Chain A
Amino acid sequence: MKRQLVTAFIGAAALSLLTACGGGGTADQAAGGPQTIKVALWNYATTPEFKALIDGFQSANPDIKVEPVDILADDYPQKVTTMLAGGDTTDVLTMKNVIDYSRFATRGQLVPLTDEAKKLDPAQYSGLDAYDLEGKYFALPYRQDFWVLYYNKTLLKQAGVPESKLQNLTWSDYATLAKSLTKGDGASKVYGAYQHTWRSVVEATAAAQTGGNLLGGDYGFFKDQYQLTLDLQKDGVLMPWATAKSQKVTYNTMFSTGKAALMPMGTWYAATLLGDVKAGKTKVEWGVAPLPQKAAGKVTTFGSPTAFAVNKNSKHTDAAKKFVEYAASEAGATAVAKVGVTPSLQSQKILDTYFGLPGVPQDDVAKKAFKPDEVVLEMPVSDKSADIDQILTEEHELIMTGQKSLDAGLNEMSKRVKNEVG
């Protein structure tokens, strides 16, 4: 008797183990009544645009409830890939970058949104064309980031540099200025500029401003931009790349604690600064200028749009589409602009909303920075982008740590991209 009990108990335990694995949420009814859609996104607490969009959408559509699926920003692409591989039904997916977008779309993981995209005016939507896959669209952008030059007003004033000087900087002006702004030693050192460890800071800038092709397998066009960066590093104007990388230095720390006077960075950083100033986390007085250019004149910078897409496995496709359309609409763009994030829809009205925010720099330099003449896509979309990105990153490390000479590094990049990706 006792033994039978034991057996039954173990059997039940094993069964519950099995069923626990096979469990998972049950989808609520698709037709009629209040619905809940899930939106995959990252760092919900510190990325204000998501809350702004979800709140705005819910008040416009009271019959649809939105539930955020919060993922760590760094893990986001991998986590979403794994989720989709497992047949996850999360309704809306944020497309963090266009490389992942093209991968998900070409694998048939996303619901086509071509009709919805055709309704948008490409002249007003910055970054819309990045989602064009041979005439088809699978996502609608709601946000467009591009690179600008952040500067510390206090440090500039101390050095007697007028801010208007930053309106038309060339890279050699930038180098001269950064040198003059460098001061101090050891722990109290203030760097003239901080360039983060990402390869894009050097490479995407060079590609955008020389018209070079990042997927081309011939990287001679990087040379000037690398030379400039390496020279600044040698002169102690930039924090050594090796230190920044091995200490996992964050660009926010460097800029918001006043340890760097100039910093090329994406427009998304403005939202962080606005939030941190408001919360009293930083006292830095900041301004934005256009990204320095190869030659003074037209402002060319690089950037990437962010979009929402609908999961093919979604059980609430219509509600999910509504959310994606809302985020791309004027109402969505206004909500995004209000939290200090640059929306994809850049009409005058939206720009006015943005500059009307307390804390956003209002001057002409900033206005010029936020209206670049051309925004080139940070990394062109192709099935080879991810592999090439890996090779470029590895060689970038070797050049920046001085493990390879500039010429040898550039040669190796070209050789490896041609041989290994082909």
Chain B
Amino acid sequence: MAGQTVEQAAATLTAPARVRPRRRRSSTWVGWTFILPNFLGFATLTLVPVIASLALSFLDWDSYSSPRWVGLANFERMIHNETFWTALRNTAYYAVGHVPLTLVAALGFAVLLNRKLRAVRFFRTALFFPYITSLVAVAVVWNMLLSPDLGPVNQFLRAIGIDNPPGWTTSTAWAMPAVIMASVWRDLGYYMILYLAGLQTIPAELYEAAQVDGASGWQRFWHITVPSLRPTTFFVLIMLTISSFKVFDLVQVMTEGGPGRATLVLSQVIFREGITQGRFGYSSAISMVLFVIVLTVTLIQFRLQRRSER
């Protein structure tokens, strides 16, 4: 355990002769007090609400009247609700689009910007910038770019001979791709930084040796870079998956789940049912389902990772 070794090290420093058990107990206690403020924050703001939400999913509660035990009724209602299934499909659609595209784009730009280029810092900053920009601003700008009749994107498409460019956020078929596009653009900078950090850890000798053996650029990328980045990729994949399933803000500002229900995602349904309609029990039931989905997908990824490590 890391805690123990630190403790031992501390003990050797202060009392090299022998460690008295009482002393050790009190230093454990000090250790706990160090994480206590953080843990208290986590417990009151995350852990307790999560447990309460689990309990709420079996109750009928509007936050005013006293809660009523309804057993599995909330889950039953969910299974028979078309909006829930639409939102679930849309969430999966978003994740399936957002995760691989962001990953590939982040890795691509990281490899590109890991070289000694002119103004490399400028490009790195430029790509990271969207990530720290206000999300509302991002959504508004993308909505302008993608405006069906006057937007620059469609003007460009018309200029190159596409007579009927997509309606983007106003079309049921194109609204989700538009949202995915905007979200990839926004997120890739952050994951690119993670990849850049990963790339710095690969020893240059590996590439030199491969070059001596006559490996092509692509071969070097495929056989050295990709395997060496496996831990980073694993981390990026987990973070991306979790954030994709939880997507809320970008959709809320760009399309509000529309047109119709074309971009409605689970977290929006949770918000609507809970905060807007005051059905906290039902809303908690949906958030439990979302929790289980994210947990399952993450566990599968962990298992796959462990298997590939063997």
**Which A residues fall within an 8 A CB radius of B?**
3, 6-7, 10-11, 13-14, 17-18, 21, 77-78, 81-82, 84-85, 103, 107-109, 240, 242-243, 245-248, 386-387, 390, 394-395, 397-398, 401, 403-404, 416, 419-420
The contact of B64 among A77, A109, A243, by CB within 8 Å, is A109
Q: Assess whether B30 is in contact with A81, with CB atoms less than 8 Å apart.
A: no
> Which of chain A's residues have a CB closer than 8 A to the CB of B257?
394
Chain B residue at smallest Cβ distance from A8: B33
**Which B residues fall within an 8 A CB radius of A?**
26, 29-30, 33-34, 36-37, 40-41, 44, 62-65, 81-83, 140, 143-144, 146-150, 167-172, 257-261, 272, 275-278
Offer 15 A-B interface pairs, CB within 8 angstroms, sorted by A. Answer: A3-B26, A14-B40, A17-B41, A103-B278, A107-B278, A243-B147, A245-B258, A246-B147, A246-B170, A394-B261, A395-B260, A397-B260, A403-B172, A403-B260, A420-B82
Chain B residue at smallest Cβ distance from A86: B63
Q: Assess whether A394 is in contact with B258, with CB atoms less than 8 Å apart.
A: yes
> Which of chain B's residues have a CB closer than 8 A to the CB of A243?
147-150
**Main SS at interface, chain A:** helix
Closest 10 CB pairs of A and B: A242-B170, A85-B63, A107-B64, A397-B259, A398-B260, A10-B33, A401-B170, A394-B260, A397-B258, A403-B172
> Which of chain A's residues have a CB closer than 8 A to the CB of B64?
84-85, 107-109
> Which of chain A's residues have a CB closer than 8 A to the CB of B148?
240, 242-243, 246
Complex Cα distance A403/B30, Å? 64
Complex Cα distance A21/B150, Å? 49
> Which of chain A's residues have a CB closer than 8 A to the CB of B146?
246
Q: Assess whether A403 is in contact with B259, with CB atoms less than 8 Å apart.
A: yes
Complex Cα distance A404/B167, Å? 14
Q: How many A-B residue pairs have CB under 8 A?
A: 95
> Which of chain B's residues have a CB closer than 8 A to the CB of A247?
143-144, 147
CB distance from B174 to the nearest CB of A (A): 10
Complex Cα distance A108/B62, Å? 12
Complex Cα distance A75/B137, Å? 18
CB distance from A132 to the nearest CB of B (A): 21
CB distance from A381 to the nearest CB of B (A): 15
Complex Cα distance A394/B63, Å? 27
Q: Assess whether A18 is in contact with B40, with CB atoms less than 8 Å apart.
A: yes
Q: Assess whether B172 is in contact with A398, with CB atoms less than 8 Å apart.
A: yes
The contact of A246 among B44, B65, B168, B277, by CB within 8 Å, is B168
Complex Cα distance A416/B276, Å? 20
Complex Cα distance A390/B44, Å? 34
**Beyond known contacts A247-B143, A394-B258: 20 more, CB 8 A cutoff:** A11-B33, A14-B36, A17-B37, A17-B41, A21-B44, A77-B276, A78-B275, A107-B65, A108-B65, A242-B167, A242-B170, A248-B140, A394-B261, A397-B260, A398-B260, A401-B170, A401-B259, A404-B260, A419-B82, A420-B81
> Which of chain B's residues have a CB closer than 8 A to the CB of A242?
148-149, 167, 170
> Which of chain B's residues have a CB closer than 8 A to the CB of A18?
40
CB distance from A119 to the nearest CB of B (A): 28
Knowing A242-B167, A245-B170, A390-B272, say if A6 contacts B30 (CB, 8 Å): yes
> Which of chain A's residues have a CB closer than 8 A to the CB of B259?
397-398, 401, 403
> Which of chain A's residues have a CB closer than 8 A to the CB of B147?
243, 246-247
Complex Cα distance A404/B63, Å? 38
Q: Assess whether B143 is in contact with A248, with CB atoms less than 8 Å apart.
A: yes
Chain A residue at smallest Cβ distance from B45: A21
Complex Cα distance A403/B257, Å? 15
Q: Assess whether A78 is in contact with B36, with CB atoms less than 8 Å apart.
A: no
Complex Cα distance A240/B261, Å? 20
Chain B residue at smallest Cβ distance from A107: B64
Complex Cα distance A6/B82, Å? 57
Chain A residue at smallest Cβ distance from B81: A420
> Which of chain A's residues have a CB closer than 8 A to the CB of B272?
390
CB distance from A95 to the nearest CB of B (A): 16
Chain B residue at smallest Cβ distance from A79: B275
CB distance from B246 to the nearest CB of A (A): 19
